[in-house]
């Protein structure tokens, strides 16, 4: 049932492409993709046993069929002792019938009282807990996958892996899972319906991987991969499971009607509005690999509120998408202009270009616009990824109803590369219309020059088409990224012209040419001071004005010391240095009444951060920044304190304060928030978020309840209350708007 054999016997012998960034173009060389004997990986495989017995999902592997099948084989340590046997035994079993894939895992633990399962809420973070993680690469394309995970408390965690390493856990699907703590450790039992997955018809082999984290030991074990250079989300490091032909999806139709109601009291006018409307979501698999998603009279009452931010820069801030309709198959619409991402702790360039940003649909100036109907087609046709989105919004007092359309196509080649195109049409602003066209190419390998290292290079070109604009409406760029464990580096070039304005996209700054280069050195010296890993970074980013050809801003960031200890405690930064230069060509109001004049500003700033291990019931972190700030000085303090009674109760309090002393004026920017949740079970959670910022002087509270009596059926109730601080420096607040909303949805599967 279990075997190991060379990658070259399974996958096509790859041609090599050597990529270098010279004069902003890529030169291709055929020897990059040639695979040497020393560079071959071993692909683990397992044939899934087909059963006719009924499996009860209760977290106990007591059915006889579990004991009669073989395990998929031993896991191996990825860290801290790469390649060695795990310190704790893990046995993984796979079964299937025509309708479901069943996964049973026995996670033995020699000290079960020390297992960490501190949170049972839906989609809880896996960073500070013992976890079991699974990825299913149903198309076996080594690019995208479904993600399922849990902890010893039974949290339901699911998401989409796209772009080979990116994970979005805001996506949810229908599946069933239970865990059980035992005297020997804990067990996990899972049923994943094939109706919840897309896959190619008639294919026998899927990509598969499983990972176990033993948090108190800072240990991660994997079935396939298991190298520091390939983290668990790197889909091309997964193994293979076979015997997956002959599965069924029925007629492939899910119908999810819902009832949504809301009550809004507007304090300023005294008006009250009550709304009660039905709606419908429909999911239809045209083929097992191509899904059609429709929504009518869409309601997003279950969506969490955004985290508060105060923007002290000249450029826009992007908030993440949380609405379920737009999160379906989100990876299809990803584009090469998004990255590459900076290492943890290193500031982003803040110059990503998003030709399609779904929050531009259904939201105008922070106000919700009703979505009357939406249609999305996503999936695969042969070796190509396709995505189409069409939405019709309703009328409001400020904007009329509009049509929006997005099309995306990617032709995959080699193991991880593609060439693609994107098209968008529409602009949410009143009286405006816009179109955007673009193409991108992504070239990636995990066997760079035969060294078993990752290398990614990409390029893109985008053009916006807006009425009255016929020039300077392009954005283009190239990048090379070497994302590996000991050494991680990148080179990025990007130009964003003055009139480039994608109506359905998001651009942080324009009329600039960006150059960015950096390198990180991350040695593993485990015998020194009980350190788990180190990180040292040097990154330089420069923006030149396209109008003047001169420097507009630059930043040199140096991280001298970033140590993570085996205890889970960390010195994330010890006197990190940031040397910045900003050139203003027009006045900039950084805070109400504080206006910076045109000129050149040089700043030297420092940062330190300390955090305690999150496995403890009481944990926290503190970050301090100080030094030059535009024409004067500023200090920033960010502190977080977390207390939990695992796994039921958790409270997190955060404070972010900037104290600025400038010749133009003094000001304080302050954000305070507190989140507290109580979980009765993994399927019933009460959560609360209280936020205040002194820019808007608004105190907001959202209370949410989510109950899932059965997978696919959910009840959401939310209460939103605001208060306004009318007098600066006073603790007196007056009541603002009040909103209560409820939504119940029920899924019928055919």
With respect to residue 539, please indicate whether it lies within any of the assigned structural domains. Answer: no
Tracing tokens 């059609």 back to the chain, one arrives at 292
Structure tokens at 10: 């399974």
With respect to residue 285, please indicate whether it lies within any of the assigned structural domains. Answer: no
DSSP assignment of 246-265: T---TT-EEEEEEEEEEEEE
Q: For residues 698-722, give the mean pLDDT.
A: 94
SS3 31: coil
* CATH number of residue 135's parent domain: 2.60.40.1190
Spatial CB neighbours of 581, under 8 Å, sequence gap ≥ 6: 551, 553, 554, 555, 600, 601, 602, 603
DSSP assignment of 90-134: EEEEEEE-SSEEEEEEEEE-S-GGG------STT--STTS-EEEE
Counting residues of the chain whose pLDDT is more than 90, the rounded percentage is 66
Structure tokens at 167: 């994970």
Please report, for the chain, how many H helices and E strands are present, in that order.
2, 48
Measure the CA–CA gap between 437 and 749, rounded to whole angstroms.
38
Measure the CA–CA gap between 346 and 541, rounded to whole angstroms.
11
Contact between 383 and 371 (Cβ < 8 Å) = no
- For residue 433, with 0-12 CB atoms within 10 Å meaning exposed, 13-18 middle and 19 or more buried, which class applies? middle
Domain termination site, one of 218, 242, 266: 242
Label each residue of 311-371 as H, E or C: CCCCCCCCCCCCCHHHHCCHHHHCCHHHCCCCCCCCCCCCCCEECCCHHHCCEECCEECCE
Give yes or no for a cis peptide into 204 (omega within 30° of 0).
no
Is the pLDDT reported for residue 50 higher than 90?
yes
Q: For residues 663-692, give the mean pLDDT.
A: 95
Q: Is the dihedral of CA 193, 197, 200, 201 positive or negative?
A: positive
With respect to residue 211, please indicate whether it lies within any of the assigned structural domains. Answer: yes
Identify the CA nearest to 404 among candidates 412, 392, 396, 413.
392
Domain termination site, one of 678, 696, 723: 678
Q: Pick the residue with more confidence: 666 or 530?
A: 666
Task: For residue 325, name the pLDDT band (cuts at 50, 70, 90).
Answer: confident
Identify the CA nearest to 106 among candidates 184, 1, 211.
184
DSSP assignment of 366-386: TEE--EEEEEEEEEEETTEEE
Task: For residue 143, name the pLDDT band (cuts at 50, 70, 90).
Answer: confident
Find the radius of gyration of the CA atoms of the chain. Answer: 26
Give yes or no for a cis peptide into 80 (omega within 30° of 0).
yes
Contact between 428 and 360 (Cβ < 8 Å) = yes
Measure the CA–CA gap between 547 and 544, rounded to whole angstroms.
9
With respect to residue 625, please indicate whether it lies within any of the assigned structural domains. Answer: yes
Is the pLDDT reported for residue 25 higher than 90?
no
What does DSSP assign to residue 397?
Answer: S
Is the pLDDT reported for residue 31 higher than 70?
no
With respect to residue 254, please indicate whether it lies within any of the assigned structural domains. Answer: no
Contact between 222 and 239 (Cβ < 8 Å) = no
pLDDT for 40: 41
C-alpha of 584 from chain center: 34
Q: How far apart are the first and last CA of the chain?
A: 33
Q: Is the dihedral of CA 46, 49, 50, 53 positive or negative?
A: negative
pLDDT for 10: 34
Q: For residues 575-585, give the mean pLDDT.
A: 95
Q: Pick the residue with more confidence: 6 or 67?
A: 67
pLDDT for 218: 86
Is the pLDDT reported for residue 27 higher than 50?
no
> What are phi and psi for residue 216, nearest 5 degrees?
-65, -20
DSSP assignment of 201-259: TT---EEEEEEEEEGGGTEEEESS---TTS-TT-GGG-EEEE--TT---TT-EEEEEEE
Measure the CA–CA gap between 33 and 449, rounded to whole angstroms.
7
With respect to residue 30, please indicate whether it lies within any of the assigned structural domains. Answer: no
With respect to residue 194, please indicate whether it lies within any of the assigned structural domains. Answer: yes
Domain termination site, one of 227, 242, 257: 242
pLDDT for 530: 78
Is the pLDDT reported for residue 13 higher than 50?
no
Task: Say which range, 39-48, 464-473, 596-605, has the weakest mean pLDDT.
Answer: 39-48
Measure the CA–CA gap between 599 and 234, rounded to whole angstroms.
46
Is the pLDDT reported for residue 494 higher than 90?
yes
Q: What is the mean pLDDT of the chain?
A: 89
Is the pLDDT reported for residue 47 higher than 70?
yes
Side-chain half-sphere exposure of 591, counting CA atoms within 13 A: 17
Task: Say which range, 330-334, 512-516, 647-651, has the weakest mean pLDDT.
Answer: 330-334
Is the pLDDT reported for residue 592 higher than 70?
yes
With respect to residue 691, please indicate whether it lies within any of the assigned structural domains. Answer: no
- At 150-206, the pLDDT tens digits run 999 999 999 999 876 788 888 889 999 999 999 999 999 999 999 999 999 889 999
Contact between 367 and 397 (Cβ < 8 Å) = no
Side-chain half-sphere exposure of 283, counting CA atoms within 13 A: 25
Q: For residues 55-74, give the mean pLDDT.
A: 94
What does DSSP assign to residue 537?
Answer: E
To the nearest 10°, report the CA torsion of 699, 700, 701, 707.
Answer: -170
pLDDT for 429: 84
pLDDT for 527: 65
Structural domain of residue 608, as residue ranges? 589-678
CB-CB neighbours of 615 under 10 Å:
18
- Give the total number of structural domains in the chain: 2
What does DSSP assign to residue 195?
Answer: G
Give the Å distances, CA to CA, from 428 to 143, 363, 400, 408, 593. 32, 8, 9, 20, 31
> What are phi and psi for residue 113, nearest 5 degrees?
-70, -10
DSSP assignment of 686-721: EEEEEEEETTTTEEEEEEEEEEEEETTEEEEEEEEE
Contact between 482 and 522 (Cβ < 8 Å) = no
């Amino acid at each position: 049932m279990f075997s190991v054999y060379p990658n070259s016997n399974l996958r096509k012998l790859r041609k090599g492409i050597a990529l270098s960034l010279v004069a902003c173009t890529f030169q291709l060389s055929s020897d990059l993709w040639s695979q040497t004997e020393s560079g071959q990986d071993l692909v683990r495989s397992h044939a899934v046993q087909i059963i006719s017995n009924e499996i009860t999902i209760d977290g106990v592997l007591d059915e006889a069929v579990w004991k009669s099948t073989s395990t998929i084989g031993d896991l191996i340590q990825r860290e801290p002792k790469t390649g060695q046997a795990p310190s704790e035994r893990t046995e993984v079993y796979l079964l299937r019938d025509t309708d479901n894939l069943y996964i049973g895992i026995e996670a033995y633990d020699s000290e079960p009282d020390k297992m960490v399962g501190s949170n049972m809420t839906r989609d809880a973070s896996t960073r500070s807990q013992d976890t079991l993680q699974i990825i299913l690469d149903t198309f076996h394309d080594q690019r995208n996958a479904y993600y399922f995970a849990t902890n010893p408390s039974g949290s339901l965690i699911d998401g989409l892996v796209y772009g080979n390493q990116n994970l979005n856990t805001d996506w949810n699907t229908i599946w069933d899972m239970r865990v059980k703590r035992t005297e020997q450790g804990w067990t996990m039992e899972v049923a994943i319906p094939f109706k919840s997955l897309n896959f190619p018809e008639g294919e026998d082999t899927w990509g598969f991987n499983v990972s176990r984290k033993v948090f108190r030991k800072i240990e991660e074990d994997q079935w396939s991969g298991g190298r520091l250079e390939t983290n668990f989300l790197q889909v091309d490091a997964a193994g293979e499971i076979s015997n997956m032909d002959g599965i069924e999806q029925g007629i492939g139709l899910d119908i999810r009607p819902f009832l949504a109601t809301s009550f809004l009291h507007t304090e300023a006018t005294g008006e009250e509005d009550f709304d009660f409307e039905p709606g419908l979501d429909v999911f239809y698999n045209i083929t097992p690999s191509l899904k059609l998603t429709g929504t009518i009279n869409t309601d997003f009452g279950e969506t969490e509120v955004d985290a508060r931010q105060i923007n002290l820069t000249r450029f826009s801030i992007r908030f993440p998408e949380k609405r379920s309709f737009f999160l379906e198959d989100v990876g299809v619409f990803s584009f090469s202009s998004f990255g590459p991402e900076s290492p943890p702790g290193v500031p982003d360039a803040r110059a990503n270009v998003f030709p399609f940003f779904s929050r531009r649909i259904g939201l105008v100036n922070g106000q919700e616009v009703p979505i009357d109907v939406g249609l999305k087609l996503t999936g695969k046709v042969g070796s190509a990824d396709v995505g189409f989105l069409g939405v019709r919004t309703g009328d409001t007092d400020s904007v009329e109803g509009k049509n929006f359309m997005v099309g995306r196509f990617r032709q995959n080649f080699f193991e991880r590369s593609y060439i693609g195109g994107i098209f968008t049409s529409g602009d949410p602003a009143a009286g405006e219309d816009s179109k955007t066209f673009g193409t991108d190419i992504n070239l990636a390998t995990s066997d760079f020059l035969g060294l078993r290292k990752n290398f990614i290079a990409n390029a893109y070109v985008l053009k916006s088409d807006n009425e009255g604009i016929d020039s300077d409406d392009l954005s283009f760029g190239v990048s090379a990224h070497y994302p590996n464990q000991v050494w991680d580096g990148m080179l990025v070039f990007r130009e964003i012209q003055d009139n480039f304005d994608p109506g359905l996209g998001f651009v942080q700054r324009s009329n600039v040419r960006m150059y960015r280069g950096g390198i990180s050195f991350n040695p593993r010296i485990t015998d020194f001071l009980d350190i788990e890993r180190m990180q040292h970074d040097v990154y330089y980013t420069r923006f030149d004005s396209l109008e003047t050809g001169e420097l507009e801003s630059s930043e040199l960031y140096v991280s001298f010391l970033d140590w993570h200890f085996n205890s889970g405690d960390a010195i994330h930064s010890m006197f990190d240095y940031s040397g910045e230069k900003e050139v203003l060509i027009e006045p900039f109001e950084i805070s109400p009444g504080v206006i910076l004049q045109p000129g050149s500003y040089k700043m030297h700033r420092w940062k330190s951060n300390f955090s305690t291990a999150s496995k403890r019931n009481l944990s926290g972190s503190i970050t301090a920044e100080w030094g030059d700030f535009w024409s004067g000085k500023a200090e920033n303090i960010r502190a977080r304190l977390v207390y939990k009674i695992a796994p039921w109760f958790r409270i997190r309090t955060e404070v972010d304060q900037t104290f600025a002393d400038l010749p133009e004026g003094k000001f304080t920017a302050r954000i305070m928030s507190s989140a507290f949740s109580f979980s009765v079970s993994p399927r019933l959670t009460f959560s609360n978020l209280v936020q205040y910022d002194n820019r808007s002087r608004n105190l907001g509270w959202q209370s949410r309840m989510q109950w899932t009596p059965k997978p696919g059926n959910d009840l959401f109730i939310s209460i939103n209350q605001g208060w306004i601080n009318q007098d600066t420096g006073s603790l007196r607040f007056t009541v603002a708007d009040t909103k209560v909303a409820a939504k119940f949805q029920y899924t019928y599967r055919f």
